[in-house]
């Protein structure tokens, strides 16, 4: 296995989870001068918004209202962070 870098996420209640990524991968995904933590945070926000979208819009059956609201908030946070609607980034809308 190649070299790795450790990143840590801290939750709102103080719990932490550390994980390894291949060394240099974050640099490949970053724009010049962009901090590594911003890149990792962007990927987390993007992944969570995409997963919420899938749960709400691509699941069979009805979705509870609280989960639909979470998805809507995730989409709004995505747009605030990246300057474009999630549906545009995903290439489709509902």
Q: What is the pLDDT along the chain (94 residues), one digit of tens a residue?
A: 999 999 999 999 999 999 999 999 999 999 999 999 999 999 999 999 999 999 999 988 899 999 999 999 999 999 999 999 999 999 887 7
Number of structural domains (the chain) is: 1
Looking at residue 60, its pLDDT comes to 87
Looking at residue 61, its pLDDT comes to 86
Q: Is residue 67 part of a domain?
A: yes
- Say how many Å lie between the first and final Cα of the chain, rounded: 42
Q: Is residue 93 part of a domain?
A: no
Residue in 69, 66, 72 with CA at minimum distance from that of residue 85? 72
Residue in 80, 38, 74 with CA at minimum distance from that of residue 55? 74
Q: Is residue 64 part of a domain?
A: yes
Query: What's the domain range around 13?
Result: 2-88
Q: Is residue 12 part of a domain?
A: yes
Q: Is the pTM of this model over 0.85?
A: yes
Looking at residue 45, its pLDDT comes to 97
């Amino acid at each position: 296995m190649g070299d790795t870098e450790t990143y840590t996420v801290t939750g709102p209640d103080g719990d932490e989870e550390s994980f390894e990524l291949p060394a240099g991968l974050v640099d490949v995904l970053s724009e010049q001068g962009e901090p590594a933590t911003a890149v990792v945070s962007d990927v987390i926000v993007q992944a969570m918004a995409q997963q919420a979208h899938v749960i709400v819009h691509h699941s069979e059956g009805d979705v509870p209202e609280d989960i639909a609201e979470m998805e809507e908030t995730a989409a709004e946070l995505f747009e605030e962070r990246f300057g474009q609607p999630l549906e545009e980034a995903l290439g489709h809308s509902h």
